[in-house]
Structure 1
Amino acid sequence: MGNNLTHARIDRAHALAQGLFRSLGPGDRKRLKLDIAYDYGDGEKLEFWGKEPLGAFDMRVFQGLIAMAGPDGRILENSKTADSIGQKLLTLLFDPADEETRMSVMKPQSVEIRDSLRRLAREIGAGDGGKDIKRIRESIERLFGVTVMIRIGRKSYGSRLLSFYASDEESGALRVSLNPRLAHVIMGGGQYARIDLVEARSLESDPARLIHQRISAFIDPGASREVSIERLSEYVWPDAADTPRTARSRLTKVRKAVEEIRDLALWNIKETGVDKWRFIRPRLLESK
């Protein structure tokens, strides 16, 4: 069976959070930690913490999970109406997980995926051999280890990036539930970024994949935006380059990434100045 999912609807704040996913070099996984804050505007701020940074492959896995939760996910209602399995999963959504907090903060709902690691591999365009499945499982566990704190005015609430995770190496079975904010978007609420998986599967380099998600998060289908090479570089590497040579190397990779996206005829990209481009996103076809 081939790929059949066309897109992922990701909460826009998660998709825009700079540094949540980044390009990683040798040793970065052990050297760096995830510790970022993103000001979404209107007094809303998201903070993400994890013992390891998240790379471009983790982003692909994240996109695949959200896409699978769209048409195939099982809605877990609030604890007054959830079944016994749903009630157990809901206890993992907030910390502390007392009934009063869960019901008063946002009446949390989640979406649970019950599928397989091999299906996830196919949907993100990865291999489904033993090493590939192991890599995907490790990525999901990294995503599960990320804590998200959302602050709106004087109120705060926290959860994991993924609320629940379970897999079986022998059968390849996979169960994942999303945090309430991600689930809310999938169920039709909130602002979202539409990530085209057909486009994402066509890309080969990490910089192109990272840039593709970020521009997809702030340029809606049929719209356009001018972006400089410096801004695109920040989408791939949120930290400043430590040497001039590294800075030049990054800019070269960004130029190649822009060419990669343009060569695949994914977007109409027009050069508007020295290392500046206008990204024109294709209109959304009704069939998609």
Structure 2
Amino acid sequence: MATNLTHARHDPMHCLAPGLFRSLKRGDRKKLKLDVTYRYGDNECARFIGFEPLGADDMRLLQGLVALAGPNGVILTAAPTGDLPKQLRLGLSPKLDAKDSDGLVVRHHITRLMAEIGWDDSGKNILTVKASLVRMSNVTVIIDSGPHRASFHLMSHAFDAEDGKLFVCLNPQIAEAVLGHRPHSRIDLNEVRRLNSDPARLMHQRLCGWIDPGKQGSVELDTLCAYIWPDAANAEAMKKRRQVTRRALVELHNVGWGVDEYSKGKWMLRRPAKGKTGGGSADVDRTNVPPSPD
């Protein structure tokens, strides 16, 4: 299936939260939990809580969903009327200051989503997608901003295994970024599809969260390591992490980024400039979720 989405208009908070997505070893999902707090701005923080940690596969899936929401997202209001919209709203569980906020629903066949993130529609990959959807739908997001608090799930979803139809409702924070109601981070999907390793993909999203297209930033190698592995490590493990991170920087260079080690362990990274591209539509009907896809 051909891909045609160029980028995702992602929420910076979901891109920059340290450890929200991380490199995982076999067995990590059974023994680790997700509990990440990201402090930003003045007296603002976001906490992500889940039964399992989120890995690079979850991150890629979310990138694809956010990208699909650009041209095709449908607003889910606070008081939907149909059975499916009600189910998605209940699963999203917006509370406190978010109780009246809108979600944004993506409606597509599961194979379209997989194609956009560079996966084939093998049975193994379909199982991976289904497990990831369940995992991310069980993540609770709590946002504190001064005296205000909002709570919701990272997403909610409904999937018909017989025909492959997938409905995913993205949380209000992501919805506002996609719709242009708050600043967004641009994730270039052409770059994402060309990256070969999970460490490179994890590092790429974090860098896209703070380096705008055509701009540059200076960063230390150990900081880049922390983008991939947020936990502390001994000297031997750090040596291996630095080696992997250096290989990930080569991948970044191969997709067009400027990568310059101007001093030992210190890097200047230049993001490619991008012209205006598609991925959003101002005149899409986003008023509610119909009971079935178009």
TM-score using structure 1 length: 0.91
Out of 250, 254, 257, the position equivalent to 1:259 is: 250
Structure 2 gap ranges (5+) = 279-294
Confirm whether residue 285 of structure 1 aligns to residue 285 of structure 2: no
Instruction: Name the CA shift for 1:144/1:106 in 2 (closer, same or farther; >3 Å).
Output: closer
**Aligned position for 1:111:** 104
Greater RCO, CA 8 A, separation 6+: 2
Which one-letter code corresponds to 2:82 in the other structure?
A: S
The Cα offsets for residues 191-234 of structure 1, whole Å up to 9 and x where unpaired, read as 21110010001001111000100000000011110111010000
Confirm whether residue 59 of structure 1 aligns to residue 59 of structure 2: yes
Post-superposition offset of 1:156: 1.2
Post-superposition offset of 1:93: 3.9
SS at 1:9 equivalent? strand
Which one is further off, 45-54 or 66-75? 66-75
Confirm whether residue 130 of structure 1 aligns to residue 123 of structure 2: yes
User: Are the counterparts in 2 of residues 117 and 137 from structure 1 also a CA contact under 8 Å?
Assistant: no
Which one-letter code corresponds to 1:84 in the other structure?
A: G
Which one is further off, 135-144 or 86-95? 86-95
Whole-Å Cα distance in 1 between the matches of residues 4 and 152 of structure 2? Answer: 30
Post-superposition offset of 1:48: 0.4
The Cα offsets for residues 254-288 of structure 1, whole Å up to 9 and x where unpaired, read as 00000111123x21122211122111111121345
**Aligned position for 2:241:** 250
Whole-Å Cα distance in 2 between the matches of residues 132 and 176 of structure 1? Answer: 18
Out of 151, 168, 173, the position equivalent to 2:144 is: 151
The Cα offsets for residues 140-181 of structure 1, whole Å up to 9 and x where unpaired, read as 11111100000111221110000x211122211101101111
User: Are the counterparts in 1 of residues 253 and 259 from structure 2 also a CA contact under 8 Å?
Assistant: yes
Confirm whether residue 229 of structure 1 aligns to residue 227 of structure 2: no
Which one is further off, 231-240 or 27-36? 27-36
SS at 2:244 equivalent? helix
Whole-Å Cα distance in 2 between the matches of residues 287 and 27 of structure 1? Answer: 40
Whole-Å Cα distance in 1 between the matches of residues 201 and 192 of structure 2? Answer: 7
Which one-letter code corresponds to 2:130 in the other structure?
A: R
Post-superposition offset of 1:131: 1.2
**Aligned position for 2:73:** 73
User: Are the counterparts in 2 of residues 94 and 157 from structure 1 also a CA contact under 8 Å?
Assistant: no
Whole-Å Cα distance in 2 between the matches of residues 217 and 137 of structure 1? Answer: 27
Aligned-pair identity in percent equals 43
Any residues of structure 2 matched to 1:1-288 within 5 Å, and which? 1-79=1-79, 82-85=80-83, 86=85, 89-94=88-93, 96=95, 101=96, 105=98, 107-162=100-155, 164-241=156-233, 243-264=234-255, 266-287=256-277
SS at 1:285 equivalent? coil
Whole-Å Cα distance in 2 between the matches of residues 59 and 287 of structure 1? Answer: 22
**Aligned position for 2:286:** none
Which one-letter code corresponds to 2:16 in the other structure?
A: L
**Aligned-CA RMSD value:** 1.6
Which one-letter code corresponds to 2:259 in the other structure?
A: I
User: Are the counterparts in 2 of residues 267 and 279 from structure 1 also a CA contact under 8 Å?
Assistant: yes
Whole-Å Cα distance in 1 between the matches of residues 77 and 114 of structure 2? Answer: 28
The Cα offsets for residues 31-62 of structure 1, whole Å up to 9 and x where unpaired, read as 21100100022211000011110001110001
SS at 1:222 equivalent? coil
TM-score using structure 2 length: 0.90
Equivalent pairs, count: 277
Structure 1 gap ranges (5+) = none
User: Are the counterparts in 2 of residues 228 and 275 from structure 1 also a CA contact under 8 Å?
Assistant: yes
Whole-Å Cα distance in 2 between the matches of residues 127 and 63 of structure 1? Answer: 16
